[in-house]
Structure 1
Amino acid sequence: MRFVPAALLLLSFLPLAAHADEECQVTAVFSGDQLTCQRADGGDTTIHLRGITAPELEQPFGQRSRAALVQLALGKSATLKHAEQLPDGSLRAAAWVTPAECPNCGHTLDIGRAQLSIGLARWRQSDAQTPEEVGQYQFEEHEAKARRTNLWRKP
């Protein structure tokens, strides 16, 4: 039994456990990487998209990045994956929606990854991601740079 205190001590250093996948309705978009979701219980939660950072609204491409996220997500049902609660009560999560071109596909579009692919966000390497996500996000940013699209227009 003397191992119990040591185990409890080790557990105290683990990051906050991620929430289970949760469905919500996207009700507002603040920027190219931040939105509001209404949960099933009626409460609103601010979501910071995991794995990306977008320009601030007053920066070059900030308005365009926000407009792209509005088109991708506003008014849609979304699935939040791997959500982590931040100290201010908001969540950092991947958000998945149904793609406009495939209305019967379900939530198969990662909107953060979509923002990377069109060059309207940068990969946020400091966020916890699975090895698969790291490869996908890194690839999308690399491809946007190679195409010199939006944020990557200048060499």
Structure 2
Amino acid sequence: MRFVPAALLVLSFFPLAAHADEECQVTAVFSGDQLTCQRADGGDTTIHLRGITAPELEQPFGQRSRAALVQLALGKSATLKHAEPLPDGSLRAAVWVTPAECPNCGHTLDIGRAQLSIGLARWRQSDAQTPEEVGQYQFEEHEAKARRTNLWRKP
């Protein structure tokens, strides 16, 4: 029985491993960090992109952020990774799609990370992420700031 607490401690370090990847079709984009996916069962689910927060539509760069996400994801097949249910029935997940410039590459583009790289979202540090993702997202935001891209422009 003394191994049970140790096992629970070890499992607590892997909160993202419990959810399997899931395929879906992106059917709508609401903002720069929120979209709708049609899942295999035919149901539509609102997805909040894990690891980022984008400006609201009425805020500066809100429309531009949404337009960028439309270009990246709308109408595409996608993979939801590390989906986490939210109290309102939606999910928070990393969403991966096939890059437009590489149609045979499969779902290799993390659209949240792409939004960070072009300066149309901020890194949401409060979301659960793997150590690798933390480094990647932190890097993308840092680079966008250094380039003074979009959100990071000097007024």
TM-score computed with the length of structure 1 as normaliser: 0.90
- CA drift of 1:9 comes to 12
- CA drift of 1:19 comes to 2.5
The answer on whether the counterparts of 1:123 and 1:137 sit within 8 Å (CA) in structure 2 is yes
The answer on whether the counterparts of 2:48 and 2:92 sit within 8 Å (CA) in structure 1 is yes
1:109 alignment counterpart: 109
Q: Provide Cα deviations, 1:68-104, integer angstroms capped at 9, x if missing partner.
A: 0000000000000001000111000000000000000
The answer on whether the counterparts of 2:16 and 2:128 sit within 8 Å (CA) in structure 1 is no
SS in 1 for 2:133: helix
The answer on whether the counterparts of 2:45 and 2:91 sit within 8 Å (CA) in structure 1 is yes
* Stretch deviating more after TM superposition (77-86 or 16-25): 16-25
> Whole-Å Cα distance in 1 between the matches of residues 153 and 114 of structure 2?
18
* Stretch deviating more after TM superposition (6-15 or 38-47): 6-15
The answer on whether the counterparts of 2:16 and 2:129 sit within 8 Å (CA) in structure 1 is no
* Displacement over 6 Å in runs of 4+: 1-17
The answer on whether the counterparts of 2:144 and 2:152 sit within 8 Å (CA) in structure 1 is yes
Counting only pairs closer than 5 Å after superposition, residues 29-108 of structure 1 correspond to structure 2 as 29-108=29-108
> Whole-Å Cα distance in 1 between the matches of residues 11 and 108 of structure 2?
34
- CA drift of 1:154 comes to 1.1
> Whole-Å Cα distance in 2 between the matches of residues 11 and 135 of structure 1?
22
The answer on whether the counterparts of 1:122 and 1:141 sit within 8 Å (CA) in structure 2 is yes
User: Could you list the runs of 5+ residues in structure 2 that have no partner in the other structure?
Assistant: none
- 135 and 45 in structure 1: CA distance in 2 versus 1, 3 angstrom threshold: same
Q: For the aligned residues, what is the CA RMSD?
A: 2.6
- CA drift of 1:6 comes to 11
The answer on whether the counterparts of 1:18 and 1:84 sit within 8 Å (CA) in structure 2 is no
- 109 and 69 in structure 1: CA distance in 2 versus 1, 3 angstrom threshold: same
- CA drift of 1:10 comes to 12
The answer on whether the counterparts of 2:19 and 2:83 sit within 8 Å (CA) in structure 1 is yes
- CA drift of 1:7 comes to 8.8
SS in 1 for 2:135: helix
> Whole-Å Cα distance in 2 between the matches of residues 79 and 28 of structure 1?
15
The answer on whether the counterparts of 1:51 and 1:125 sit within 8 Å (CA) in structure 2 is yes
- CA drift of 1:125 comes to 0.3
Q: Percent identity?
A: 97
- 25 and 122 in structure 1: CA distance in 2 versus 1, 3 angstrom threshold: same
